[in-house]
Structure 1
């Protein structure tokens, strides 16, 4: 990836951050070569902060990281487009984007994934999701297994309502498991797309 960092006097290029799932523009930051290298190696967006005068990984204090999915450079080789999965709100104000727009998809599963992310990052005693996640990966995986068995049992019967309810439970717990492993449903969809080629 050839990037012309020398076009600007400070050696920085703009980096536009876009949600990999919703395609919404989330924020704009600046990168030098070191910030880009760290972003590519750690798969978390890292900028060069002009106000802090140092490398700054988005989410280093809040935990609201931007998990890198793809990096592209524009035709002039002086601007980056980074597609990422946000872990929580992107703006320091608590908004979804730095333009105070909601980062929502018309896709209900995407909305559900965002709710799961929020429950994990902002746990409350009332949240089933937060409690399950806090019990660790083994418990989350076990729950997916239990729900899968219940789907199989209901598939052999003739009660469509029970089958659909158990299927919903399985899908919900699978989405939690994906996030516990650091992934989202779109990562699985990308694997399926690659297999389809």
Structure 2
């Protein structure tokens, strides 16, 4: 494992930097707890902090895992798995709103928690990802087929043509018809 300087590790603790999670752990002598660098608990005094390269080393020294950041789960990455499952459901069911909501509900977390986890993993909210997924599919269908725009709207999960037009114009900056004309003229 890579060794870091005390200053680097301290700065990671102060910044709650998740990039260092799993690379080292820190213990707080006054409470006997060890944490991930990204732990959101109150920043301890620097003089009370000791660093460990492994979780086992922290346990051997007599520290117990923090109940807030759960450093013992660091290698399991449950957040990444949850976000990946949600993303897969959105990719598979972006066009079927009721089915998508049912599948996301089966994940067993609240919408706000899922949004936070998804944003942490992919840098955007599930709503924004879903919008970009639908926009991309609409653009593909508009450019590659002569399918009527109302059928494209239905194919990507819109109940009304006006809602699809409003969505597409907001996302793409142009109407579906104008996009189709422009994409066909670029090919020719």
Q: Would you say same fold, with TM above 0.5?
A: no
Bigger fraction of residues in helix: 2
Q: Indicate the structure (1 or 2) with the bigger Cα radius of gyration.
A: 2
Q: Which has the higher strand share?
A: 1
Relative to the length of structure 1, the TM-score reads 0.26
